[in-house]
A and B are shown apart, each in its own frame.
Chain A
Amino acid sequence: MNVLEALEKDLIKVPLESSEKYAIIRELVEVAAQVKGYDGDALLDAILARERLGSTGIGNGIAIPHAKSDAVDKVTMVIGVSKIPVDFESIDNQKARIFFLVIAPSKEASAHVELLASIARSCSSGIFRRMLEQAKDADEVIQLFME
């Protein structure tokens, strides 16, 4: 599975309203819970448990909070872009503006791993990251991935 296969307009929030790490995580989880009808508390618990192992702020302004949870029935990705750089305790100490929340059921380990790798590859371009940071709405985010 790659980013395009997981991309859904309803699961993109631009701009995010929060400006603090855990509030951002909650906001992204709420999008998944509202759009897909998932149990938001279960998702949040899984994401926070993973975050306790180490920050998912991977540097270059990107964070990818992720977890396995059987509260979802398929691999689900929420994208959020913040206007304000947020301290996500990233490995390069840079603040983050682009967020990918990825949650997958335990039976879809292969698709989960492939999707995370696809996000990492697609965000390896500095130009792409800058364009994503400047996206004004969900349509612009989708268009950037489609180009």
Chain B
Amino acid sequence: MSVPFKQIVAYIDGSESSMTALMYAIKLAKEHQAQATAVYVVNTKALSDLVKSGIFVAVERDEYQRDLYEDADRYLRHAQHLADEKGVEIDTVKLEGSVHVVVKELVKSLGADLLILGGVSDIRSRRDELASETDRMMRTAPCPVLVVREDDDIWDEFER
């Protein structure tokens, strides 16, 4: 780990909380003159699990996969746009697989010193199968993790 941070990774999934986390990451990267990376993971693991469990038929899996790839492109373009607005260099990375597994690999391969996430759930159940992908990333990340709470102030400050 280095302070100030040199390599910051923000995970985005299209949720409002992940976009808040991205804004925070861009602001932090600017202040620390760090390299920022925004990553979106097309959750192909979940898609194949849904086919295996009989919830999705193959044609439906293909349709959702296309939707997820389109979402990835749209949100990563948005990430690029936000970073450009603040004059921050950002790499946008689209991956596929099991979210927490591929994010962990990316963080390792980049030697990132901070992973920024939004929307970690409140602990409402001890049952592991109810953990969200964000919870899993937080638990398995090989670097410090910063969890950004949903907060209008971050959006306001970003727009200033």
- Once bound together, how far apart are the Cα atoms of A109 and B50, in whole Å? 13
Interface size, A (range): 35 or more
For residues 107 through 134 of chain A, which have their beta carbon under 8 Å from a beta carbon of chain B? 107-114, 116-122, 124-125
* Docked-complex contact A147 and B49, CB < 8 angstroms: no
Q: Which residues of A contact B (CB under 8 A)?
A: 1-5, 50, 53-54, 56, 58-59, 64, 66, 91, 106-114, 116-122, 124-125, 145-147
- Fill in one digit per residue for B112-136: 1 if any A CB lies within 8 Å of its CB, else 0: 0000000001001111011111000
Binds A, one of B21-29, B60-68, B152-160: B60-68
Contact B60 A53 (CB under 8 A): yes
Q: Check if B1 is an interface residue, CB within 8 A of chain A.
A: no
Contact present for A109 and B64 (CB under 8 Å): yes
Bound-state Cα–Cα, A7 to B57, Å: 25
A146 surroundings in chain B (CB, below 8 A)? 124-125
Partner of A117 from the list B14, B46, B71, B125 (CB cut-off 8 Å) is B46
C-beta contact mask, B45-78 vs A, less than 8 Å → 1, else 0? 0110110011111011000100110010000000
Count of A-B contacts with CB under 8 A?
A: 86
Q: How far is the CA of A113 from the CA of B126 in the complex (A)?
A: 22
- For the residues of A in contact with B, the DSSP-based class is helix
**B43 contacts A110, CB within 8 Å?**
yes
Known contacts: A106-B67, A109-B67. The answer to whether A145 contacts B130 by CB under 8 A is yes
Select from chain A the residue with minimum beta-carbon distance to B45.
Answer: A117
Which residues of chain B have C-beta atoms less than 8 A from A121's C-beta? 129-130
Contact between chains at B68 and A147 (CB < 8 Å): no
Pairwise interchain contact B125-A5, C-beta atoms closer than 8 A: no
CA distance in complex: A25, B133 (Å): 29
Contacting pair B131 A117 (CB below 8 A): no
Question: What chain A residues lie within 8 Å of B132 (beta carbons)?
Answer: 1-2, 5, 114, 118
Residues from chain A with a CB closer than 8 A to the CB of B67 are: 106, 109
Q: Whole-angstrom distance between the alpha carbons of A114 and B18 in the complex?
A: 15
